Amino acid sequence: MANSEKTLVLVKPDGVAEGHIGQIISRLESKRYQIAALKVVTATTDQLKRHYREQVEKPYFHEIQTYMQEGPLVAIIVTGTDVVKTVHNLAGKTRPNDAQPGTIRGDFAHAYPDGILRNIVHTSDSRENAHHEIAIWFPELAVEAHQQASPSKK
């Protein structure tokens, strides 16, 4: 049985600055996935705290925040069969040095000597996280979905 679902892809500021948006979208489309929504955003501190909720109390969270706010990012909702797992694998290992050639990070990300992890792209790693992350980056879609599900009052 087909497992149609949604996932979130964030092209991070380094991916945007280096001009990889089109190449990343092409890789998603070559897998026959659909782009359901796309927008350019500047990350707010609130969005980052909610997105990286498990790292907020870590000593390196400030570095994540600085990195994610150094320029615009592109938020993309991708839909298709088994899209969460497949897109997460397409991104490659989190650390660019560990990512295989043929993955987004393996082909486009760089190892930086300053120790800050700049890895071009984020992808949801589970359906639950995809749902949570889509609500953070596309709150207007969560409102629309809620309004469509609720009967209108006259």
Catalytic residues: 122
Instruction: Give just the sign of the alpha carbon dihedral 115, 58, 103, 37.
Output: negative
Distance CA 7, CA 21 (A): 17
Structure tokens at 23: 């190449």
- Residues 41, 77: contact at Cβ < 8 Å? no
Task: Indicate the DSSP class of residue 129.
Answer: H
The beta strand positions in 18-112, using DSSP E, are 34-41, 73-81
